[in-house]
Chains A and B, each alone.
Chain A
Amino acid sequence: MAPAVAYKMIDCKHIPHMRLHYFILTLTLMTVATSSLADEARVAVAANFSRPAEMLVEQFELLQPHRIELITGSSARFYAQLRNGAPFDAFLSADREKPALLVDEGFAVADSLRTYAVGRLVLWTAEPTREISGETLSVFAGGRLALANPRLAPYGLAAQEVIDNLGLTELLADSLIMGENVSQAYQFVATGNAPLGFVALSQVGRNGAIEQGSGWLVPSELHSPIRQYAVLLNETNAAAGAFLEFLRGPEARRIVYSFGYTMDDSEP
């Protein structure tokens, strides 16, 4: 009986401590393993790209151990915040200007600037089954035409170029209603406050075709391409680097295309 009692005593007093040690050891190992293999990144993404970005992250997290947290907003606001120490690891801008400035100013990793999507512009109305074309614009004077602010948003700039290239600058000057970004332009038209507006194909369509309301896919030769650039901000974050890498792969491209963007390989 004596050995059994002795064993029981060990069981009661020492084993729990051993367990605790193992637990701490395991925890330490896990932490070490996670920090070297799986990372967490905070990615700032331009508002127009938020829907595809969510799906991209979902796909990315299935394939990789990393985790991505998305923060959606205006590219210009992100730029101002990043210059003042915002804790983001990568930035998917709506244009080239802001991420390029961040590289020049030393806030982003040089050589990491890449196109991740090229936007398509749509002249759009919330009414279903209406014929919309460039003609619609030339007879539109006097109404309200929504667009993103050309001074702030690449989609706005592209819309202004379309108006200029169609020779309608004068005619439509008093009809323009400006949203701060393309999301607001869409909001103005979708709520019926403006009968017509320039929006992003990603907002109203899937797989390259317009799905809600009716619209005119503006021929891309009528405006300069809406190239959206991504940039790495934190070189030591493995998740951010891997995500930007993933964005250029075939898997990601399929998703990007399905949301109405194209890709452009003529430029990095």
Chain B
Amino acid sequence: MMFPAEVLQAIWLTLRLATTATLLLLLIGTPLAWWLARTHSWLRGPVAAVVALPLVLPPTVLGFYLLLALAPAGPIGQLTGALGLGSLAFTFEGLVIGSILYSLPFVVQPIQNAFHAMGDGPLEVAATFGAGPWKRFFTVAIPLARPGFISGSILGFAHTVGEFGVVLMIGGNIPGETRVVSVQIYEQVEALQFAEAHWLAGSMVVFSFLVLLVVYGSLGRRAVPGMRFGS
């Protein structure tokens, strides 16, 4: 076998984390993207800026504040403590929260751009045929914005797989719980196991290349709404 059991465990954990985070991001990101694409509120600018923050902030900043927030005395820690969940630092759930923050712009922005590019026309047509707002959203807006959802999901998934700094700071390197592939590679490099690190790191390069090939190659021909930095 190419990979030992602990590495397979890290790969499986990483895929589980990325899938969970992406699904939750689609749930949270879709209404957020819809609102950002259509609102004229003055809040649009500040909210868009907050959504884009993880693009520019170093993961150490996110990791540091998450560590403080998740601690029993921190705001999230107090909330989860009151709910009887205990502290979420060093848990899979804690990493999911970190990943959602970290990958938020990668999911929201493509969807937002797709909603924006669609314009008002199709929705107005649907309205004249008597479709209510919910029906318009689910039967017109979402199908038309499908390329945005696809690229948002792929980018969010891939970005979570590539997450490192945040996990290192709030993870605690627990096998099967928080030791994801990037941390596993880091540990192998630090432990001077360069050959093992090569296998896993090389696989990451191939995986990431294939993901981006899908995004920019096949989908790109249909003018996928990708990331727009700003706006």
Which A residues fall within an 8 A CB radius of B? Answer: 74, 76-77, 79-80, 101, 144, 146, 149, 151-152, 176-180, 184, 187-188, 191-194
- Chain A CB within 8 A of B90 CB: yes
Cα–Cα distance between A149 and B187 once the two chains are bound (Å): 9
Contact count band on B = 20 to 34
| A-B contact list, 27 entries, CB within 8 Å | A74-B190, A76-B191, A77-B190, A79-B192, A80-B189, A80-B192, A144-B172, A146-B172, A149-B173, A149-B187, A151-B191, A177-B90, A177-B174, A178-B172, A179-B172, A179-B173, A180-B186, A180-B187, A184-B169, A187-B67, A188-B89, A188-B172, A191-B68, A191-B71, A192-B72, A192-B73, A193-B71
Q: How far is the CB of B151 from chain A (nearest CB, A)?
A: 34
B190 touches A191 (CB 8 A): no
Cα–Cα distance between A151 and B190 once the two chains are bound (Å): 9
A-contact bits for B31-61, CB 8 A (1 contact / 0 none): 0000000000000000000000000000000
**Chain B residues whose C-beta falls within 8 Å of the C-beta of A193 in the assembled complex:** 67, 70-72, 87, 89-90
- Chain A CB within 8 A of B168 CB: yes
Cα–Cα distance between A187 and B173 once the two chains are bound (Å): 14
Q: How far is the CB of B75 from chain A (nearest CB, A)?
A: 13
B191 touches A152 (CB 8 A): yes
Cα–Cα distance between A178 and B178 once the two chains are bound (Å): 10
**Chain B residues whose C-beta falls within 8 Å of the C-beta of A178 in the assembled complex:** 172-174
**Nearest CB in chain A to that of B193: its residue:** A151
Interface residues of B in 160-174 (CB under 8 A from A): 168-169, 172-174
**Chain B residues whose C-beta falls within 8 Å of the C-beta of A76 in the assembled complex:** 189-192
